[in-house]
Amino acid sequence: MTDDELDQRVRASILAEELDTARLEHSIRERIRRPRVARWALATAASIALVIAGGLAYRAFFQPTPLICVAAARDHNYEIVNGAPREWLSDPAAILSLVAQQGVPSTAIAALATIGYRLEGGRLCSLNKQIFLHLTYSKDDLELSVYLRPGGPQSPVDRAVHEASVGTEDLAYFQTDRLTAVFVAEHSPAEALAFARAADRVL
Amino acid sequence: MPHLAPLLRVARRLTFDNTAAEDLVQETMLLAWRGFHQFQPGTNARAWLFRILFNAFYGEGRRSRKASGTLPGSAVVEGFTCQEIGEILNIPIGTVMSRLSRARQELRKTLAPLAKEAYR
């Protein structure tokens, strides 16, 4: 058998195979019609989604304690728990005057007094380079600090009362459009939270 | 759609699997569609399509081109000249001819016992 004869036989054998090209052509036309999304666009979208999901997860599980709370906890520990020598105003009228000077609504002080906490003293202090009105309250044997500053956040207000813990100090804090308020008590997360919630209702 | 049948036949010889062959041809035609601007009018469209098919099959370095010894046989079946096969596979025409010769020898060797059986 010559090469040509062999080629012809092989060719005839292979060409006799059945082929379903109609179905294949249909599939190809379908794939060509389908809009093609660039791989880079998919990768970019996936990366953005990953970053957003990561950010949300971080906020949900590892919400950092605001720096102002860290500073308030240290201040309470230093001045109240350890009794650092400081000049405190104890006269209610003098405290109210100081409150008025700082632009904190005096009704806030009166409202706090109505929910079972006794105002003990007041002075100005600096937390994270911001001037706060530091008020101390007592309830039974417990001493609590309340740090107030007029003005809320620039961004839309989240009225929820948040909790935090820094060292031995337990904190609760909230912000309104008029006021930033931080409540600190040592080893008393329930008291700090209860005081903050009560204050949130009346402020 | 032109050249679909020849592409599918060669894809079957390459993949030894019907589904894989159809996938390979689909991929080939999509690559041709997307890269149509690279095709130079007046040149051999069929050879261009087969080159895409072989490149798609041997792409990503998963298969060795050393195994392409039997490919010239498939291309001859589809009526390509030795020169066209050389251009498609990017090998010298002498290599095409020697591989074709080897393929025919192997085919004869394989068919010989069957032929003897048939003439008994």
Bigger pLDDT: B49 vs B71: B49
**For residue range B2-25, what is the model confidence (pLDDT) as tens digits?**
889 989 998 988 888 889 999 999
Looking at the predicted structure, is the pLDDT value of residue B74 above 90?
no
Check CB contact under 8 Å for A17 and B26. Answer: no
Looking at the predicted structure, is the pLDDT value of residue B68 above 60?
no
Architecture of domain B4-119: Up-down Bundle (1.20)
pLDDT grade, residue B85 (50/70/90)? confident
pLDDT on residue B37: 87
Looking at the predicted structure, is the pLDDT value of residue B27 above 90?
yes
| A26/B contact by beta carbon, under 8 A | no
Of A3, A15, A28, the CB nearest to B26: A28
| Most A-contacting residue of B3, B7, B8 (CB-CB within 10 A), to test interface | B8
Bigger pLDDT: A47 vs B1: A47
Residue B96, classed as helix, strand or coil, is helix
Looking at the predicted structure, is the pLDDT value of residue B80 above 90?
no
Residue A89 DSSP code? B
A20: Cα separation from own chain's centroid:
61
Architecture of domain A66-202: 3-Layer(aba) Sandwich (3.40)
| Most B-contacting residue of A28, A36, A37 (CB-CB within 10 A), to test interface | A28
**Mean pLDDT per 10-residue segment, chain A (203 residues):** 81 83 90 75 89 79 77 92 87 88 79 79 91 90 89 64 90 86 90 86 76
Question: How are the residues of chain A apportioned to helix, strand and coil, as percentages rounded to the nearest 5?
Answer: 45, 25, 30
Interacting residues of A65 by C-beta distance below 8 A, sequence separation 6+: A164, A165, A166, A171
Check CB contact under 8 Å for A24 and B108. Answer: no
Q: Which of A98-107, B63-72, B89-98 is predicted least confidently?
A: B63-72
Domain range list for chain A: 3-60, 66-202
Looking at the predicted structure, is the pLDDT value of residue B117 above 80?
no
Chain B nearest-CA distance from A35, in A, is: 12
Q: Average pLDDT, whole number, for chain B?
A: 82
Give the side-chain half-sphere CA count within 13 A for A196: 29
Tokens representing A82?
Answer: 């350890």
Q: Is the pTM of this model over 0.90?
A: no
pLDDT on residue A124: 93
User: How many Å apart are CA B15 and CA B52, to the nearest integer?
Assistant: 15
| B112/A contact by beta carbon, under 8 A | no
Looking at the predicted structure, is the pLDDT value of residue B61 above 70?
no
